[in-house]
Chains A and B, each alone.
Chain A
């Protein structure tokens, strides 16, 4: 019951911040949707965040970009990322960044597809404060940052009128899936 309420609230709050939300019973279904989405949108290149472990079958079918330097990401028509947590209070996605590439995939392409295990939706930021704090102390990482992303990039700098996608993505598509107790897609 609590999980269902958190999920419902998360969806409502994320939608209020202009995110698009799709819900699936498994990660396989979520990825199948993403596959169709790429075709429908005619996306030639998708950047996949290093922390998203795609099954080999998808990897071979998808037009996955293989960037060598930061500029190469400019060619991506979409990015696929996975959030560590969802915050139902605000519809926020939380990501514990470990390298620049992850941050770039979240921000640079015009469309961001974000996987989120429904079990990782919590009420508020206070519920994960300890985790966020601990991540900032992990000195072994290449990057130790925490990103909170709520809806697509937005601005109202011209006449106070809302426009999406001024720097980051203009579309944030959240793919909620029912995670398993253990498996290859379990986040750390």
Chain B
């Protein structure tokens, strides 16, 4: 991983901020969830009849006068475009934006055969002149500044152009208009293929799609088969969502529905390129619902740091990783899978509810199965985390060396190169002197032996067990104060790190032990949303046993449990004791996007604090911990943490509340390293402190 491009990071961050504001405004008064559910039904219905609807489209388009071709792969699609152009005597072809043509490598193919190609979308033209690939599906030149564009245009025109956007746009208009009139053929993609009328829908803002499809004598459409929709009504629903979700516009400036006519020279190439294989795969077929709105990129914390030059093969981001694996091959997707934090933020914005993060995990599993590359992760998961005795032994020896290797505050002494990159931006904690389960055991041994096992089990996860036992003790004390007797779960890893990295068998081995240990519990309260995700979402699927499924019903996040069961009591307990400092809340990824528990935590904290929380900007953007992610990509982790700390600082709060021990480790460590004065605490700690503060 190379250095982070500061300029790109700033541009992408600003773009994302403005996108989120515009998106919120255009969806005001609309129910995004209902709309996207409807679109999913339409897309799934169309995909289940993909072959039949494509056949109907073809028949109707042919009836209308179009020539329709089938391309099984990129090479065939490129050859078909070339042959149409050659047959029509077109030596020069203009294009409106088409990701499918990027997928097939059309420009290079045609160029090698003597056909000149000109992109006409402004962003695409800029990157074409720069000799670079697009870095965003909607904003291809998002990584370039006006200075870059002025330099690129100056080089093309052989004169010195000003770094002024309106001037540069006017130059593009003038230049491209001449090119469009000079072209022998125009190529567009299609945002939808409408089966009932054999027509296509093309969505643009610039109007280049209209010119490219109208001015040159030949119009070639290159579209992939999953764009099929049964009727124009379905396309209109897509149109309701696509621009709103893509750019925060109610609609784009131009939308064209083009049905063929015998008076026009229209050629439609329908590309498969492994899509039929995707459709036949029960796990991955939903990726073909993608409407290329790019919302997932616009909210992806990693994409916002590294951009589409690094986080892309041809298609970008998480969805791009999945498409790459199928279309361009598993090997091409291997490095990309490492970029996904697994934060699930993209899924909250996806127009068609694609489970991107879960599918990236499934892809990692396939990569391990098929490529069988050795990995340090496999050793760690199989050899250590899946074996509680070895894990305990390692932590025991770490504890023994705590006086030597830790420094003030319980942090690890500063690391030296080559490990410096892992703690340069955050102080890492040394394991606690005594683990949670040991501390509880010592306390209960003072009580009489042989008492019955409590029905409520507290599962804190490895970080609470070994690094932050105080969080577990505080949770237990809160429960005790409210009249609940709870015991901590046996110290066993939940298996999430292995599952998330795609090591299914190691995850199953670990998770099975945990399920057995929790079998007798009536209620399992959790302190770590990531572990909870394993217990309720990933684990049962991996293990597939009845016991694992039964466990799901028993598991509740600690804060959700308290709010649901003890809201009134807590309101009374805290009513006369407002907290003096201002506090803010960091949304931990799994807590918000998987467990949907963020608002409950806020409500609980506001009851406990007796005041409103100060909201920070991008409270739901990842802090950069991401488990092994911060080891694989420390530079990205560092950038995300910098942004998070800046947001906290700007909120003016003195206390940061959160619900995930991983975020606690990252943000507290970052604050310590930077000498920031605010406290960072788990919700359980804040509740315990508030309950035990005398009024």
Contact = CB atoms under 8 A, between A and B. Distances in A.
B327 to A, nearest CB: 25
Contacts of A144: 64, 259-261
Nearest to A148: B255
Interface string A97-123: 000100110111000000000000000
Interface string B245-259: 001011111111111
A42 B121 CA distance: 30
A155 B206 contact: yes
A145 interface: yes
Interface in A18-32: none
A161 B264 CA distance: 36
A35 interface: no
Contacts of B123: 155, 157
Contacts of B177: 74, 167
B257 A168 contact: no
A143 B257 contact: no
Contacts of A92: 251
Contacts of A90: 250-251
Contacts, number: 155
Contacts of A151: 253
Nearest to B141: A157
Given A70-B181, A144-B261, A153 B251 contact: no
Interface string B189-226: 00000101101000001111011001100000000000
Interface stretch (B10-18, B41-49, B308-316, B401-409): B10-18
User: What is the interface residue range for chain A against chain B?
Assistant: 35 or more
A69 B611 CA distance: 72
Contacts of B122: 155, 157-158, 166
B11 A167 contact: no
Nearest to B209: A167
B208 A167 contact: yes
B632 interface: no
A125 B211 CA distance: 24
A159 B253 contact: no
B210 A103 contact: yes
Nearest to A161: B165
B236 interface: yes
Contact of B15 (A125, A129, A145, A160): A160
B302 interface: no
Interface string B112-124: 0000000011110
B475 to A, nearest CB: 45
A147 B210 contact: yes
A45 interface: no
B146 to A, nearest CB: 6
Interface string B144-161: 111001000000000000
Contacts of A171: none
B40 interface: no
B261 A142 contact: yes
A136 to B, nearest CB: 4
Given A74-B181, A168-B210, A143 B14 contact: no
A129 B239 CA distance: 12
B172 interface: yes
B181 A150 contact: no
A159 B263 contact: no
Contacts of B261: 139, 141-144
Nearest to B147: A159
A129 B233 CA distance: 7
B232 A157 contact: no
A33 to B, nearest CB: 24
Contacts of A159: 11, 145-146, 165
Contact of B139 (A70, A103, A147, A160): A160
Given A139-B64, A166-B122, A157 B251 contact: no
Contact of A13 (B145, B170, B250, B253): B250
A166 B154 CA distance: 18
A1 B134 CA distance: 49
A107 B214 contact: yes
Contacts of A148: 251, 254-256
B253 A152 contact: yes
Contacts of B181: 70-71, 74
A34 B64 CA distance: 38
Q: Which of A17, A126, A163 has the most CB of B within 10 A?
A: A163
A160 B14 contact: yes
B169 A155 contact: yes
A104 B250 contact: no
Contact of A136 (B139, B165, B172, B197): B197
A102 to B, nearest CB: 10
Contacts of B523: none
A160 to B, nearest CB: 5
A136 B251 contact: no
B210 A107 contact: yes
Given A125-B239, A168-B210, A158 B254 contact: no
Given A90-B250, A133-B196, A159-B11, A167 B214 contact: no
B168 A158 contact: yes
A143 B210 CA distance: 13
B524 interface: no
A146 B255 CA distance: 8
Nearest to A98: B261
A165 B176 CA distance: 12
A109 to B, nearest CB: 11
Given A126-B236, A157-B140, A160-B142, A104 B173 contact: no
Given A70-B181, A143-B261, A168 B253 contact: yes
Contacts of A161: 165
A154 B232 contact: no
A167 B211 contact: yes
Contacts of B140: 157
Nearest to B64: A139
B362 interface: no
B166 interface: yes
B414 interface: no
Contacts of B254: 107, 147-150, 153, 168
A90 B18 CA distance: 20
B172 A166 contact: yes
Contacts of B64: 139, 144
A128 to B, nearest CB: 10
A166 B206 contact: yes
A145 B169 contact: no
A54 interface: no
A15 interface: no
B63 interface: yes
A125 B238 CA distance: 12
Contact of B259 (A17, A91, A145, A160): A145
Given A145-B257, A148-B255, 16 more contacts: A104-B214, A125-B236, A133-B197, A136-B199, A136-B232, A136-B257, A139-B64, A139-B261, A144-B259, A145-B259, A147-B210, A158-B122, A165-B173, A166-B169, A167-B120, A167-B207
Interface of A: 13, 17, 70-71, 74, 89-92, 100, 103-104, 106-108, 125-126, 129, 132-133, 136-137, 139, 141-161, 163, 165-168
The 8 closest A-B pairs by CB, nearest first: A168-B207, A157-B123, A148-B255, A146-B257, A167-B207, A136-B197, A153-B207, A157-B122
23 contacts: A17-B250, A70-B181, A91-B250, A92-B251, A133-B232, A133-B233, A136-B194, A143-B263, A147-B254, A147-B255, A147-B257, A150-B251, A150-B254, A151-B253, A153-B205, A156-B247, A158-B144, A158-B149, A159-B11, A159-B145, A163-B166, A167-B207, A167-B208
